[in-house]
Structure 1
Amino acid sequence: MSRKQTLREPGLQTLGAEERGGSEADRRSVAPAVSGQISDMSPPEVGGLLRPLRRFWSVTAIVLLLSLAGASYSVSALSDTYTGRASLIVSSNNRSPDQDAVLVQGYVDYFNDIAYQQQLARSVGLDGVVTLTARAAAASPILLVEATTDSRDKAQSAAAAVAGAFQTDLNRVRDQQQRRQVRKLEDRLEQVGRAGGPDAATSVAALQDQIAEVEADRTNRLQELQFEGGVSMNSPNPLTNVAFAGLGGLILGVLAAIALDRIFRPGPQPRG
């Protein structure tokens, strides 16, 4: 048994050496291929990326200068504007404020319709450029009417006038309904007074209470909160406008340089 083992051991050692040698040879042959792949996967040279800018730097500069010039001109033409505010409120008798706030949001959407705003502006005689808008004050039943123009006094007067016209317009239907109800109750009150009788005084008092209740009903009605809510000044920010214009012009100039580089890229040279 010992001789067989001694005879096998050299063969095993030789086989192990061959395997080790083969693996080492394989590693040597694979290493150049892997290094070649790594070199192929390396990022492009910075010079290749900057080539379009070097070739067409004048195009990038022209686009940038045009953007800056346009922004500077537009900023110089801007002037301060003023925003006047007026406030209305919906405060129903037997309804919570959060329910009235939902109604106010509907009034805001109705006011901000362009065609309706033009109708309101004509009804109050607004002239010149006046921007009108309405918004709800947070989640409250307060409606803010804003008018923006180039004059402080005109902004406040326009906001108050438009808010009053809007209040009158929306309350018109409700006012008509209340007048009809009051008229009916007054007719009944007159009939009871003419008829007389032992229960006439009780009926008259009940009808008078109903008339007072109808007249005091403010459900769904817009009410004046503050028609002169103040004026704020809006000043343009020239540095921000020019900075954004410069950034946009730089990006457009770089894209233009890349596009021109691809269009006018020289073809492959013929081999000698």
Structure 2
Amino acid sequence: MTSNRITPPVAAPAIDGRAGFPVPDEYRNPYPASVWALLGAGLALAAAACALWVDLPLAVWIQKSVSKGVDQSFEWVGELGEAGHYIVMALAFYVVGLVGLARGWSNPFRMSYAAMARGSLLMLSTMALGGLVVLVLKRTVARARPELFFEQGIYGLGESFSRAQQFNSFPSSHTYAAFAVAVTLGILAPRWRWVFLLLAALVAISRLVNLDHYLSDVMTAAGIAVLIGHVLAPRVLCSKYQWPLRAPWRWWKKG
């Protein structure tokens, strides 16, 4: 007996230009906007509570308890929070991804040029947008760094937009850079996300141990990185958005 059932066509995967590699299809944000708003509000309350009751006692305890050897070791760990290195590498990968995609180069890696371009652009955009947020907060809040308390007994806020280096503690730039990279890599390689986050957490701890920042400074920086990374990811990684695969001067071109 002959069946009249028609087998539905199977959608073919998106192809990375002339290179023949699959590109990312869809990225789904793990939480809706309402949950992210609640998480952000919870983080703000936790940071405020730390600023009132935890930050200073913790800094005093660290200053009395941490040896010079441990302090020096964490100085090296803190170097992982230097944003410039990651920006240069991500920019290089983005350029290679765009050029390889446009010219149809063969790729010796398992990652397609489209995925390379999208992933590196996600890191660059997360670093840029979050870096701007961190800079604005530093200038407006103008929080005194821990060194001012131990040298002059000053704990609190200074004059906004004074650009004084001793009054830019909140939030931590190094912590933000480390978590921006960790969140981006965790989105691109979910199996390794906890390793990336652990390394970023070590950078945050180094900022506390070295008495460069207070606990609420690093908490807030990490939270901003997580929020911005996950907000930007769908707009950069989803295949329905083609602007990440074009040169920056053509991002606003329709189609």
TM tier, smaller: under 0.3
Q: Give TM-score scaled by structure 1 length.
A: 0.19
Whose Rg is larger? 1
Which structure shows the higher strand fraction?
1
Higher RCO (C-alpha 8 Å, min separation 6):
1
